Amino acid sequence: MGYALKETEYRYRAWTKDGIWQMGKLTTNKNITIHEGSNVFHYGQGLFEGLKAYKTKSGKIQLFRPDMNFIRINEGLDRIVAPRIPEELFFDAIEKVVEANKDDIPEYGQGQSLYIRPFVIGQGMNLGVKPSEEYLFSVFCAPVGTYFKGGLSALNFVTTDYDRAAANGTGQVKLAGNYGASLYPRQIAKDAGYAGVIYLDPATHTKIDEVGAANFFGVTHDNVVVTPKSSSILPSITRKSILYLAEHVLGLKTEERECFIDNISEFKEAGACGTAAIITPIGSITHKGKKHQFGEGEVGTIVKKLYDLLLDIYYGDIEAPEGWIREIK
Ligand code: PLP
Ligand code: COI
């Protein structure tokens, strides 16, 4: 299965009225008609989230840490000066969309799931550079397999001289523009035969920031799981979960700190993690023409253990830490 190739029937739409969110409803209309002067078209006032629903062996449907997406979307809305979404609206939308499209949730196993895409856009005639007066919140979904091709085979990444976000810019939120900025460096990497880009910190270009659509983590030779500390990366829910599992289930040390690209050989294993990516093993990183391979260039032992744990939790095969799973009844 490719990434989100099949469209589902129902989506949810809600609008603001006088700056206040109103409860929304399901629709089968895939198109949105909004004013040509809408902020989202001209000034990029739009952001999105991504989360997944998994089917367990017994047929239950469960969401992985949706409360974290709820917190993050509101942090993003603060950053683009748009009204916060009430909890009741957020979960009404997610739950209704999953229930309505439940026949399209892939069966248990093999990394497949229903990817859920909430988003908010500023709409309405607005030529001045200022926040919109009206907003749309919508949620749609699609059945997906793994984001990076190749399952658990380790992929090759390359650093770039481009930045996706500024040092004190919008990298910490899922602003649409961050992804627009990433298309060109991604294309260059793809054309050169790489699976994706490793962004460096925009201020000094000496430290690993993240992968284009996932966070980076590495495992040192003495088994410490390390992830970059940076003001320009998205605080990944998967990364947070991996660090927790590494520490509390595998009994490993974890660190959130600077990861200098010139010191990349401190890691014997590496991975890219995110809702879409799940955990994608990184086989090598090429920087300034020099290729650094992790281990034998195959999935490392600890990366594999973390992957198995995460999948077991996604699919309900083992009990998740408290509060991580929300079942759709
Ligand atoms: N970094 C970027 C730029 C992303 O787009 C994503 C995807 O959401 C992630 C990291 C991973 O975050 P999460 O684990 O919350 O999906
Ligand atoms: C996600 O993992 O949810 C993402 O946002 C990655 C991507 C498909 C943009």
**CATH label of the domain that carries residue 290:** 3.20.10.10
Pick from 144, 170, 201: which residue ends a domain? 144
The answer on 241 and 133 residing in a single domain is: no
Q: How far is the CA of 18 from the centre of ligand 2 (A)?
A: 31
Domain boundary among 144, 171, 203: 144
* Residue appearing with tokens 């095969």: 317
Do 51 and 190 sit in the same domain of this protein? no
Q: Which ligand is nearest to the CA of 240?
A: 1
Provide the domain count of the chain. Answer: 2
* Residue 5: closest CA among 98, 73, 106, 100: 106
Cα separation, 138 vs 58, whole angstroms: 30
Q: Is residue 187 part of a domain?
A: yes
pLDDT digits (tens, 9 = 90+) for 130-172: 999 999 999 999 999 877 666 788 999 999 999 999 999 999 9
161 token code pair: 């001289």
Lowest mean pLDDT among 59-63, 146-150, 182-186: 146-150
In a domain, 18, yes or no: yes
Indicate whether 22 and 140 sit together in one domain: yes
Q: Kindly state whether residue 84 falls inside one of the protein's structural domains.
A: yes
Residue 177 lies in a domain: yes
The percentage of the chain sitting over the pLDDT mark of 70, rounded to a whole number, equals 98
Mean pLDDT over the full length of the chain: 95
Q: Do 137 and 195 lie in a common domain?
A: no
Q: Which residues partner with 14 through β-bridges?
A: 137
Q: How far is the CA of 236 from the centre of ligand 1 (A)?
A: 5
pLDDT class for 329, splitting at 50, 70, 90?
confident
- Pick the last residue of a domain from 76, 109, 144: 144
**Structural domain boundaries, residue 60:** 11-144
Q: SS in 3 state form for the chain? A: CCCCCCCCCCEEEEEEECCEECCCEEECCCCCCCCCCCHHHHCCCEEECCEEEEECCCCCEEEECHHHHHHHHHHHHHHCCCCCCCHHHHHHHHHHHHHHCHHHCCCCCCCCEEEEEEEEEEECCCCCCCCCCEEEEEEEEEEECCCCCCCCCCEEEEECCCCCCCCCCCCCCCEHHHHHHHHHHHHHHHHCCCCEEEEECCCCCCEEEEECCEEEEEEECCCCEEEECCCCCCCCHHHHHHHHHHHHCCCCCEEEECCEHHHHHHEEEEEEEECCCEEEEEEEEEECCEEEECCCCCCCHHHHHHHHHHHHHHCCCCCCCCCCEEEEC
State the closest ligand 2 atom to the C-alpha of 277, by its place in the atom list counted from 1: 2
Q: How far is residue 329 from each of residues 27, 59, 96, measured CA to CA in Å?
A: 21, 11, 11
Residue 230 lies in a domain: yes
> How far apart are the CA of 212 and the centre of ligand 2, in A?
9
Does residue 197 belong to any structural domain of this protein? Answer: yes
Structural domain contains residue 31 = yes
In a domain, 256, yes or no: yes
- Whether 98 and 22 map to the same domain: the answer is yes
Pair (159, 292) in one structural domain: yes
Report the nearest atom of ligand 2 relative to the CA of 48.
Answer: 5
Is residue 13 scored above 60 in pLDDT? yes
100 and 197 in a single domain? The answer is: no
Together in a domain, 18 and 103:
yes
**Are 138 and 160 members of one domain?**
no
Question: What is the pLDDT at residue 148?
Answer: 67
* Domain CATH code at residue 140: 3.30.470.10
Residue 175 in this model has a pLDDT that exceeds 60: yes
The DSSP bridge partners found for residue 143 are 114
**Pocket lining: 50 vs ligand 2, CB cutoff 6 Å:** yes
Question: Are 189 and 227 in the same domain?
Answer: yes
Radius of gyration of the chain (CA): 20
The pLDDT value recorded for residue 1 is 43
Shortest-distance ligand to the CA of residue 238: 1
Active-site residue numbers?
Answer: 174
pTM (two decimals): 0.96
Residues 107-140: tens digit of each pLDDT: 998 789 999 999 999 999 999 999 999 999 999 9
Say yes or no: 191 and 287 in one domain: yes
Q: Are residues 286 and 263 both part of a single domain?
A: yes
